[in-house]
Structure 1
Amino acid sequence: MYQLVTKLKRLKPVLAAINKSGFADIQGEEMRVKELMTECQRRLSLDPLNETLMQQEKGVREQYAEKHKALISFLQQKSKAIWIKNGDSNTSVFHSSIKDRSRQNRILSIVNAQGERVDEQEKITQAFLDYYKELLGTSMIGRKRVKNSVMKEGPLITPTQAATLMADFSNEEIKEAMFSIPGVKSPGPDGYGSYFFQDNWDLVGGETCEAIASFLKSEFGYHERSAEMKLNHLSFADDVLLFCRGDFKSVYLLMQGLKLFTNTSGLTPNKGKSAVFFSGMEENEIKRVLDMTGFLRQDAPFKYLGVPICARRIAASDCVTLAQKITKRIQVWATRNLSYAGRLVLVNSVLSTIHMYWSQIMVLPKKVIKEIEGICRSFLWTGKSLMEGAGAVGWEKLCYPKKEGGLGLLNIAQWNIAAMFKHIWAVANKKDNLWVKWVHCVYIKNHNWWEYKAPQGSSWYWRKLVSIKDLVKQSLNHEEFSNEEYKIAKGYRVLVQEHEKVDWCNEVWARINTPKHSFLTWLAIQQRLKTRDRLRCEFSQHCLVQVKKWLQWRTQADTLQAVLKTVRKAKQTKFRKNVKASSIAALVYLIWKARNELIWQKKVPKVEDLVQRLQQVVKNRTMLVLPQKVKIKDRDCSFLAFQMDQATIEPSSTIPTRPLCSRDSNQREKSDPTAAVAVHTAARFQQLCAN
């Protein structure tokens, strides 16, 4: 351990010097290189045959891709936003996350144990120290040891299991644990994050494993009052439910057991967070129990480990907090300028996962599922938690996999049932847990589980589980289901109905595409861009012609699907196809954006400006996500966003006599600029991609 720590300390000045010389002002460097790249591209557009300018622009563009990637990585590490993996490179999201973390990590004042509010940093620190010293029981003297006779009354692990638990950690286990830590998480006391150890494992892995193994051997062991029984800290109670008969004597004996636990462990029940639930007891008896325990009185339903517990069917009113959690997240994001693609990532990675904990425990009411879906749908289309009317595309279609024409969102109802399959599997395999044992003892007894029928007088929840068991029997081979380890993902795939696959999935959702471009292209294919001409206006046609000329692309296709089909069937390398698909998606987006600016900002677009912007966007995106393995003929190809095509962009009138994708004059444009522009872009982009 000492050798590793010493070497890490010696390395810090070297890393600090590297950081100062190369990353001291990373944001300023990124902006400087971007301005230089823009100027080079402007000069190159005026003199497209200049070889010197081509090479200069290529070098500056590579510098920008490197600086931009470093900046995004820096912001992601600083914000600790692990969920930001896909979506747009929206730095406002990073900055908002950084500000949120800064606010959360600051404690301006606190009430100490004496009930006084303190706001000085030293007093705040001392208040925390005093609280945790008292909480962990350091003030208690002469605690009792764990009684051997008491422990033998409960289940004990076997000697083999004990040996396995207390065995030394192997180097493979230490490496696996180290590599499971996200690199953007906060560094340890030594100042080094997990990225450092992961990237340099060949150099530091051996000494790191040795140091960690030594630390675990010397610093961890049995609790001093539990060494005789070989009990570690994992055996201590946290949140528990204790049951007894409904009389004063039974409760008294229960409290004596808690007192013994307190004297042994030093842990005292928090009376402000502990409660008693009564059933069938007289009021005078209830009063005696409350006076003796000092606990609060509560009624069902109550929350245990974050989930409502009650003896009846769970109602929608019991799940209000679930919708509130989702709405609270949306309220934080509502002020941020997120694109459709950015909101899609948040729905998939955050909002659609909040319910998963509840869904694995209970069958959610249909009303709750509809409410969650409504909130997610509203956020996707409007960025808010509530919306009037339906979305551009139905929720059921959104839940289709991308290869079937959807967005791959989670079908909450089906996922809930798939999660319940796990309980069916546990009962079938008689898993060693209290609930399964109780079910077999009270309900199933000696019956065959797969042929079992729920009695009429049984609870609603049990009857629901039995009906889900019948669904498992219909959908799967129950023998294979029982013998294999069950995964919720497998059950979900069985429940979700398959649909016809679309042939444009790879082109629309290619990795090289900018996500927000892909989303609008998908929306255009669905014919859900809220414009009249559907990208068939004269301006879109001019843009398509110029992009085809830039890409040296000969095709007669004039619809989006036809253009994508041409890309798919072209006898070219995958990389070339992806660059063409990226150009198509960018064209759809930029036409859509140009129409918005025309309608809402009265900014008249020019074909040459739009195509130049497209070239820049495609080139920058291609360099940013450039695959490591690209054939030389592709890397040197003139149109693949690495150097400008020799063809110049023909100047055109700013806009046709008929306004860009305009509506009839007697119709007022709706207030959604995004919806208004999107449709027009799609059609013309379809032509762009045809080649």
Structure 2
Amino acid sequence: MEAVPRNLVIVKEILSTYAKLTSLHINNAKCLFVPVAIPESAIPAYSSILNCVPREMPVTYLGLPLSIRRLKKIHYKPLIDAFKRKLDGWKAKYLSSAGRLTLVKSVLSALPLHYMQVLNLPTWLIKHLDGIRRRFFWKGKDKCLGGHCLVNWKRCCLPKKAGGLGILDLALQNQALLIKWLWKLKSEPYATWSTTILNLYGSLDIPSLSTNHLLSYGLKDILMYKDFFLASVATHSDNHEPLWRWSANGTYSSASAYSVLADPGTRTEYHNKLWILKAPPRVKIFLWLLLLNRLLTQQNLILRNWPANDGCPSCTGHEFETAMHLFVDCNFARNIWDLAQQHFDLPLLQFPSNLQSFWLNNRVRLGASWDTIWAAASLTIWKERNNMIFSQAANPPFLLLREILALVCSWNSMA
């Protein structure tokens, strides 16, 4: 309200009348008022009228820091603390990679959404929150060296159809949520938000507003995204109402904006087959890493300057262990594929020059049933390779085939 004594008295009388009618009395000890651009000399008189203490900005309002100035790092501490409280309550070491991914997507990525609907989060904060999410996903710990992150975080945040894991990109989601306010200016000119902007700055025209040097910090942050918004809005030919290009009904939604902002325009050949494969989610993540050549084979260990064996542990030769060698070219792997082919009565398998082609080319010939066989055999090869390295033990091929059969039967029975 305007800082005039008469206004303060009226508000106090309204609250007093409400208390008498409802028996819900005001607790003055929990009340405060926030003076904005008011002389220091007038504040004691206002405090006496309202019978509550003054408080300087920023203050917490509806769970968010409210301020007329740029927020400092300390003001974002409640959001960072919320992440820490969640992590402290989770037993990450008992979770699989799929379990951690679910928590990253459904919980950690949702925590800042309330802030992002109103505030343009600073770059340092988004990097900090991304670091928390990244460390939890890859290691389930507070610390995670770069070498432990098998795939670049930006790649992880790509949509699945573009080869990522579909983790929320916080910066792009922040942008999509703030653009909503530009849509309100365009589609709801008589709403409170729009009339407030009109009264303050004399215009609702977005290009004109962006040239106004008296804008608040919050409105400046929102207008940063005007170019994408203006390029995405058309005008209905009949009633001149705005139409959002990226939704079927022409109405703005942050989900539709995010899908456009996050789409790099590229597609992977396998995305629509990998994520519907009949296998547990943790196995799909393993296969995703395999197809991206990010498993910690000898080749990738050397690239990370980590200790590595001299030769492939799965064959008697001293071949350099790449993913292609381990899963396709190695005599050990070929033996596994031959046994699987004979047991499942498959035609002769093709062995092209890369992992994706090995899966997809044979899939064209053998159908979707090949997916589960390929996934189970690949996982078994990887587990046996690790068994050879860390336990210095090897299982006979017929036991490995039995394990593959058990996995295929179990996964095929999944809903």
* TM bucket normalised to smaller: 0.7 to 0.9
Residue in structure 2 matched with residue 366 of structure 1 by the alignment: 123
Determine if contact 1:369/1:413 at 8 Å carries over to the other structure: yes
Structure 2 Cα separation of the partners of residues 589 and 295 of structure 1: 66
The range that moved more, 393-402 or 448-457, is 448-457
Q: Any residues of structure 2 matched to 1:279-678 within 5 Å, and which?
A: 279-281=36-38, 285-287=42-44, 289-290=46-47, 293-389=50-146, 391-445=149-203, 448-473=205-230, 475-479=231-235, 482-483=242-243, 484-532=250-298, 533=321, 534=323, 535-536=326-327, 537-553=330-346, 554-557=348-351, 559-570=354-365, 572=367, 577=368, 579-625=369-415
Residue in structure 1 matched with residue 313 of structure 2 by the alignment: none
Structure 1 Cα separation of the partners of residues 291 and 116 of structure 2: 34
Q: 1:400 to 1:283 in 2, by over 3 A?
A: closer
Q: 1:463 to 1:454 in 2, by over 3 A?
A: farther
Q: Any residues of structure 2 matched to 1:151-190 within 5 Å, and which?
A: none
Q: 1:331 to 1:551 in 2, by over 3 A?
A: farther
Residue identity matched to 1:613:
E
TM-score (norm 1): 0.50
Residue identity matched to 2:107:
V
- State the 1:444 CA deviation: 3.8
Structure 1 Cα separation of the partners of residues 227 and 272 of structure 2: 38
Q: 1:386 to 1:482 in 2, by over 3 A?
A: farther
Give the SS at the match of 2:71: coil
Residue identity matched to 2:351:
A
Determine if contact 1:399/1:408 at 8 Å carries over to the other structure: yes
Of 34, 44, 48 in structure 2, the residue corresponding to residue 277 of structure 1 is: 34
Structure 1 Cα separation of the partners of residues 392 and 80 of structure 2: 41
- Stretches of structure 1 that go unaligned for 5 or more consecutive residues are 1-242, 626-691
Give the SS at the match of 2:210: coil
Total equivalences in the alignment: 375
Give the SS at the match of 1:377: helix
- State the 1:471 CA deviation: 2.8
Residue identity matched to 1:392:
L
Structure 2 Cα separation of the partners of residues 547 and 507 of structure 1: 21
- State the 1:601 CA deviation: 4.5
Residue identity matched to 1:539:
F
Residue identity matched to 1:479:
T
Q: Any residues of structure 2 matched to 1:126-145 within 5 Å, and which?
A: none
Structure 1 Cα separation of the partners of residues 350 and 410 of structure 2: 28
Determine if contact 2:60/2:66 at 8 Å carries over to the other structure: yes
- State the 1:382 CA deviation: 0.6
Q: 1:410 to 1:567 in 2, by over 3 A?
A: farther
- State the 1:270 CA deviation: 3.6
Q: 1:288 to 1:493 in 2, by over 3 A?
A: same
Give the SS at the match of 2:65: strand
Determine if contact 1:513/1:582 at 8 Å carries over to the other structure: yes
Q: 1:470 to 1:335 in 2, by over 3 A?
A: closer
Deviations 1:589-632 (A, max 9, x none): 2333333444445554443222212211220121122xxxxxxx
- State the 1:400 CA deviation: 1.9
Structure 1 Cα separation of the partners of residues 47 and 208 of structure 2: 46
Determine if contact 1:517/1:589 at 8 Å carries over to the other structure: yes
- State the 1:244 CA deviation: 4.1
Structure 2 Cα separation of the partners of residues 616 and 592 of structure 1: 16
- State the 1:267 CA deviation: 2.2
Give the SS at the match of 2:26: coil
Structure 1 Cα separation of the partners of residues 48 and 106 of structure 2: 48
Give the SS at the match of 1:624: coil
Determine if contact 1:567/1:581 at 8 Å carries over to the other structure: no
Give the SS at the match of 2:89: helix
Determine if contact 2:160/2:166 at 8 Å carries over to the other structure: yes
- State the 1:348 CA deviation: 1.6
Q: 1:529 to 1:313 in 2, by over 3 A?
A: same
**Which structure ranks higher in relative contact order (CA pairs < 8 Å, sequence separation ≥ 6)?**
1
- State the 1:501 CA deviation: 1.4
Give the SS at the match of 1:570: helix
Name which one, 1 or 2, has greater alpha-carbon Rg.
1
Give the SS at the match of 1:513: coil
Q: Percent identity?
A: 24
Residue identity matched to 2:337:
L
- State the 1:488 CA deviation: 1.1
Structure 1 Cα separation of the partners of residues 407 and 363 of structure 2: 22
Q: 1:497 to 1:508 in 2, by over 3 A?
A: closer
- State the 1:406 CA deviation: 1.2
- State the 1:326 CA deviation: 2.3
Determine if contact 1:513/1:581 at 8 Å carries over to the other structure: no
RMSD: 2.6
Determine if contact 1:360/1:420 at 8 Å carries over to the other structure: yes
Determine if contact 2:31/2:52 at 8 Å carries over to the other structure: yes
